[in-house]
Structure 1
Amino acid sequence: MTFIQMLLLAIVQGVTEFLPISSSGHLILLPVFTGYADQGPMIDIAVHVGSLLAIIAYFFKDVIALGKGGLASIGIGQAPAERRLFWWIIIGTIPAVIVGLFLKTGGYLEGFRSTTLVGINLIIYGILLGVADRLGRQVKSFEDMTLKDGIIVGLAQALALIPGTSRSGVTMTAARFLGYSRVEAARFSFLLSIPAVAGAGILIVPDLMDANSELLKEALITGVLTFIAAFATMTFLMQFLRKASMMVFVVYRVLMGVALLIWF
């Protein structure tokens, strides 16, 4: 890949990963509109890892708290609140892990790289996001998370393995339906992505071991560029959600989905 292609991938991933408009869908569309060769699932996951590092950097205090909860779970230290939240994150991750392993081992991931599927999902899940944001109450915070809430949001996250759904979008949708505020829905969505994206990164380790040095270099450069774009986007989104609704993202998703279905 050229540096321009890697830069475009990083910007698209860094911006769309945290805005509820589907990063995987945009990554599939990028080569369609630019004429570049499809970057493939390995580079897709590499840029997701760049986004993961941005999440860890932005929510560093929350990540440390979850780390304390993990240690408390094995008898190191006393942190009951952190331990409870740690387990809600783990439990919420299980559905995505199961579905992800099924899709990877069955060879179904490549079959999802369809522009028509992206367009349909942009519309359907965009409308659901709008309904949830309009009807959902804003009374809960991340600390109010229960086992039931963790499972529901986790099941929603599993749907995001299909391009066009948007991992952040569908988990925020579920959280808003459950009564979490916009900011807290985004916060939980981003923290929930940590083990899921880390797991996806682990899945490609065998492929990376067999990859040539050029592909490894491209993955590293694109991941670093993605980290920069993702951190900037996350900072913007968390400030934006304190003052505005998600309707602008709903409109964007529906218009883009309709345009894709007409175009293709």
Structure 2
Amino acid sequence: MYFREDGNPQGKPIVLVHGFACSLHWYDRVVPRLADDYRVIRVDLNGHGLTGGDQGLDPQDQTHSLAAVLDELDLTDAMVVGHSYGTDTALGVGAISARVSEIVIMSQSPDYSLAKLPRGHSLVGLPMVPQLVHHLTPDWVVWRVLRGGFRPGFDIGSGFDDPRQPLHDRAVMSRGMYRAVAQTRDLELRAEPLDARVYGIDKPVLAIHGRHDQFFDCEASITRYRAAGATVRVIENAGHTPNVETPDEVAALLREFLIAPRPL
């Protein structure tokens, strides 16, 4: 699993995990806002970015791969932040690794019952469909789907050093990720929704949502996470991707959560 380190080598570790069809570049604007005080580590999940490959794509496999990175780096007292598909990995590694002290989940409903995903999304898990989607979908269609992940009117390209970064990340993603997110993950969330995992974990959890998330029901999600015991924060001017749209607010919320008093 490819990873990148920035910031203060002596600082508390913050591990940033991206979502489906993304890469560590989706935190490019967040890192400089944390690097003065914290040791910031970003990963490319299996099947994504410079990690690549077609193995270890399901949420549980991603969790064990990330746990191995934490072991390799010998981290202690680490905060793990997961965005969208990466929330499963953040909660998973928090549950199995004593190296994790806080967990942040961002822009993910507890299960797909609260999803507002593009029509027919489940079909991409069928044989041969991912190859057709990857090879035949023109860029303008990809941009149209991507816009659903941001607040209305946000210039997606402005959130990246390379305005075409989202297209590059999708192009190099393993085709097997479609099945992992549309089928395997759906079954796992049905068996154990993320709010049930939050309730069952003995570590502080922060849930961040953008008010204008067009992929998941924000209000219903925050209600369920709050009931499960998570601290909940809503970014009013963000959509599904606050780490790209509102990096100042995301960094400020992470800092606030780290210094917040914990119940005895």
Taking structure 1 as the reference length, what is the TM-score of the superposition? Answer: 0.26
Greater C-alpha radius of gyration: 1
More strand by share: 2
Taking structure 2 as the reference length, what is the TM-score of the superposition? Answer: 0.26
Q: Flag the structure with more relative contact order, 1 or 2, with Cα contacts below 8 A and sequence separation at least 6.
A: 1
